[in-house]
A = this chain, B = another copy of it.
Amino acid sequence: MPVRRRRSRRAEGATRISDVARAAGVSTATVSRALSFPDQVREDTRRRVLETVQALGYTPNAAARHLRAGTSRTVLVVIPRRSNPPFFSEVLHGIDSTLSEAGYAVISGNVGDEEQARRLVDLAHSGRIDGVLATSGLAPVFEGRSILNASIPVVAVCAEIEGSRSRAVLIDDGACARAQAEHLLALGHRRLLYVAGPDGNYNEVRRFRGFVEAVAEAGLDPSADIVRHPGNYMFSGGVTAARSFLSMADRPTGVVCCNDEMAIAFAKTIRDAGISIPRDVSVVGFDGIEFGEFCEPTLTTIQQPRFELGATGARLLIDAVRGNPGPDPSPIVLQGKLLIRDSTGPARLR
A residues adjacent to B (C-beta < 8 A): 1-5, 8-14, 36-37, 57, 59-64, 66-72, 74, 82, 85-86, 89-90, 93, 96-97, 100-101, 103, 105-110, 115-116, 119, 122-123, 125-128, 145, 151-152, 235, 264-265, 268, 271, 290-291, 293-296, 323
A-B contact pairs, 13 of them (CB 8 A): A10-B127, A57-B125, A59-B127, A63-B66, A63-B128, A67-B67, A85-B86, A86-B86, A96-B108, A100-B109, A107-B107, A235-B294, A295-B296
Nearest CB to that of A82 among chain B residues?
B93
Measured CA separation A329–B173 after assembly (Å): 52
Measured CA separation A85–B91 after assembly (Å): 12
Given A11-B70, A105-B107, A295-B294, CB of A128 within 8 Å of CB of B85: no
The binding surface of chain A is classed by DSSP as: mixed
Query: From residue A298, how far is it (CB to closest CB) to chain B in Å?
Result: 8
CB neighbours (8 Å) of A100 from chain B are 109-110, 116, 119
Measured CA separation A268–B126 after assembly (Å): 50
Q: Verify B12–A151 contact, CB threshold 8 A.
A: yes
Q: Verify A10–B85 contact, CB threshold 8 A.
A: no
Measured CA separation A93–B89 after assembly (Å): 12
Q: Verify A13–B59 contact, CB threshold 8 A.
A: no
Q: Verify A70–B9 contact, CB threshold 8 A.
A: yes
Given A60-B126, A128-B63, CB of A235 within 8 Å of CB of B293: yes
Given contacts A61-B126, A63-B67, 9 further A-B contacts (CB under 8 A): A4-B323, A5-B70, A8-B70, A9-B71, A14-B151, A59-B125, A100-B109, A106-B108, A268-B294
Q: Verify B13–A151 contact, CB threshold 8 A.
A: yes
Nearest CB to that of A145 among chain B residues?
B57
Query: From residue A302, how far is it (CB to closest CB) to chain B in Å?
Result: 19
Q: Verify B110–A11 contact, CB threshold 8 A.
A: no
Nearest CB to that of A88 among chain B residues?
B89
Query: From residue A136, how far is it (CB to closest CB) to chain B in Å?
Result: 15
Query: From residue A108, how far is it (CB to closest CB) to chain B in Å?
Result: 6
Measured CA separation A122–B89 after assembly (Å): 25
CB neighbours (8 Å) of A85 from chain B are 85-86, 89-90
Given A8-B69, A11-B151, A100-B116, CB of A62 within 8 Å of CB of B107: no
